[in-house]
Chains A and B, each alone.
Chain A
């Protein structure tokens, strides 16, 4: 299945997000070798040059590194991965809070709703 993309922002930026998610969730654990650009591009159904650009950006920030002959790997720097997790969690929660505010919920209401819903979905 091709990956899903939103229409409002560049594809390479969305590729970065998706690969970050995979690193964060452990689909790509620290030190794993990534598939070749072409295979990744094919899996996502995106242009190989666009995929290449996304991977290069992730290399710039250190989340990926290239080993001259053997390919591209996920960083083994667990601090860096922890920072990534922190950043993603902040981004998602800020988005969520913004939406709740737009719906007119206050701080206490949001917290109450979160604990109630988490309690309700415990058994699932």
Chain B
């Protein structure tokens, strides 16, 4: 089996005349946390959707653990979309049962443990919850799977900074270290320390792919400040 959990070869996705992903070649190893960073409309969500087969490439190739995205790779990939798709009327406990029926790798115990740590009540219905709380629930569901690859599209946008720290620590404490987590976000300074690698996407192209400490060593700057420089308007 391939050592890379995600591989892209000359990957391109166009929408009409717009190249959302433009000839991307990329290999992401197993066992790391990667930040997928870029301004709005740089192709972050498109790339993540290509990994999930929610979109198909216009040209080029993409492999998850050596396989083309499809039924088999969905068993390996746990995906947090940018918007919620859960039914509002359901209780958290119902959704947990639903997930555990649906995914063979879903760990209920983990889910309840994380709910407890974040002080959330399994008996509550989603529609009674704030945006931030819903985000927490979704993240818990996604992180409770024992997947090989986690794709988190803007996971912490709606939660306050204190809860962010807590959530990040929860992620760190719960993932299997041989799995890979890819996080797309604008909130770089909040998650910079938990990342090992970062990818800068600009207009659908990879303009930088390095470790956080390489960036800090070479530029004497945090990833956050480098980002502000590279993507200066």
Q: Which residues of A contact B (CB under 8 A)?
A: 1-2, 5, 7-13, 38-39, 41-42, 44-50, 53
Contact = CB atoms under 8 A, between A and B. Distances in A.
Contact of A2 (B169, B177, B217): B169
B213 A46 contact: no
A49 B193 contact: no
A49 B34 CA distance: 12
A45 B216 contact: no
B9 interface: no
B173 A38 contact: yes
A9 B217 CA distance: 6
A93 B216 CA distance: 25
Contacts of B193: 2, 5, 11, 44-47, 50
B212 interface: yes
A49 B169 contact: no
Contact of A48 (B172, B220, B224): B172
A49 B216 CA distance: 16
A45 B221 contact: no
B172 A41 contact: yes
A1 to B, nearest CB: 8
A53 B31 CA distance: 14
Nearest to A8: B220
A7 B221 contact: yes
Contacts of B220: 8-9
- At the interface, is chain A mostly helix, strand, loop or mixed? helix
B196 A50 contact: yes
A50 B194 CA distance: 8
A42 B172 contact: yes
Contacts of A44: 193
B168 interface: yes
A12 B196 CA distance: 11
Contacts of A50: 193, 196, 212-213
A11 B197 CA distance: 13
B32 interface: yes
Given A10-B212, A49-B31, A50-B193, 7 more contacts: A2-B168, A7-B222, A8-B220, A10-B213, A13-B213, A47-B33, A53-B213
